[in-house]
Chain A
Amino acid sequence: MEAVKVIDIIGSKSAVSPRTGLKAYDFVASEVNQKHSLHISFEGVEDLTSAFCNSFIGKLYMNFEPAALNSLLHINGVDTSHIWYKKIQNAILLGTNENARTLHKLNLEDVIFS
């Protein structure tokens, strides 16, 4: 299956702000809701922040069952030794961790976007 590039989804090589992260989230969430399998590639991205990852990937893992998401969504284009890989993993961690809401006593959306 051909990968969909993040830069094509958001229309930019800068994956920096939460609002562009939400743009990516909306695209992938629509596909996942239809049970479509898809590969998302970070190839071509020049800038990536935790805020983007949280509002995109973190929110996916918060709103969808992780096991189901893992079977449909495949992320590539980031070397595991790259600093960006850690940002993506942290976003997944935050999105899947139910304790985040309790520990913060805050709306989880606020945590994701903190």
Chain B
Amino acid sequence: MSDKPTYTINLREVETNHIGVSEILKFYAFAKQYRYTAVQLNISPVNTMDANLSALVLAIAHKLKAENKVTVFVILADHMNVFFRNGLIAHLSGKGNANPYEDNRQSTIPLTSFLNTEDESFCQYLRRDFFGHRGLENLTSTTKANLSTHFEEIFVNVVQHANTDYPIFTCGQYFPEKQMLKFTLVDLGEGFLKKIAVKTEGSVSTDNEAMLWATYNLNTTKDVITFGPGGTGLKEIKKYCEQNNGSLHLCSGKGYLNLLKDRTLEQTLPQPLHGSLVNLIFRNIG
């Protein structure tokens, strides 16, 4: 290991939950103190890391590069070839979305960055890489079409409201032995709270309250008039997860929500995400 500043993840497993996300955000808090240098994220001690969280790692790396002129390197254990196959190493090497490493296990949905203007590319990615993945082949075409449109709504909403020129980052991972697929989407925008606090004239004042507001409003005619149409993507995906034993997690600022069918688990993170993150877990998809 070189003498570059290094943050080592000491968890045994880095999973798609508030603990996994927190750990990666701690890396950002560590790295942002540096300028004009390289830093290392050492995940080699970890037994397993959900590779879809590469979307958050890349988002952080992108932000560090742009704002601090800091280049991020990742130290991997020998068994962690998934980060080559999903495109994280290619991205961190400056190759962008062009990943030279083949995914011969067909378990990844490629780590991809999208500019605000690349909505058409995002739609093609959904069609080809996400809903075309072997892990979701048992979904009906109607379900795929409906979910696809909900994701497109999320993308457009992020572009309209995040108020940032930073790209949007997405990545997925299929776990065939668990019949599970996990997907992560990250933006580096304003987050939920700022605009929703204004829209509610201050009655919503925390990150978690803002995310709850965004997902719990009913989609009645009155609410279309009151709250405006569009922005239905998260609500509809939440509904799908409730009906199909899936999970929807939202993260923005220091807030993290796990939206379950009958309740919502709220966490306050030790370090904030400067943007927003959606974690989606599909279960029983075999």
A residues contacting B by CB (< 8 A) are: 12, 14, 16-18, 46-54, 58, 83-84, 87, 90-91, 93-94, 97, 99-100, 103-104, 111-114
Contacts and interface: CB of A to CB of B under 8 A. Distances in A.
Given A46-B123, A47-B123, A49-B149, A113 B160 contact: yes
Given A83-B146, A90-B224, A16 B156 contact: yes
A47 B156 contact: no
Interface stretch (B89-97, B172-180, B228-236): B228-236
A101 B154 CA distance: 24
Given A47-B152, A49-B156, A54-B230, A16 B225 contact: no
Contact of A90 (B120, B145, B229): B229
A114 B157 CA distance: 8
Interface of B: 117, 119-120, 122-123, 127, 145-146, 148-149, 152-153, 155-157, 159-160, 221, 224-226, 228-232
A18 B156 contact: yes
**6 pairs of A and B residues whose beta carbons are closest in the complex:** A50-B230, A90-B229, A114-B228, A16-B119, A47-B123, A51-B156
B230 A51 contact: yes
Contacts, number: 77
A51 B120 contact: no
Contact of B153 (A50, A58, A97, A100): A50
Nearest to B156: A51
Contacts of B226: 103
Given A87-B229, A94-B228, A97-B225, A12 B160 contact: no
A94 B227 CA distance: 10
Contacts of A17: 117, 119, 156, 159
Contact of A103 (B119, B153, B225): B225
B177 to A, nearest CB: 33
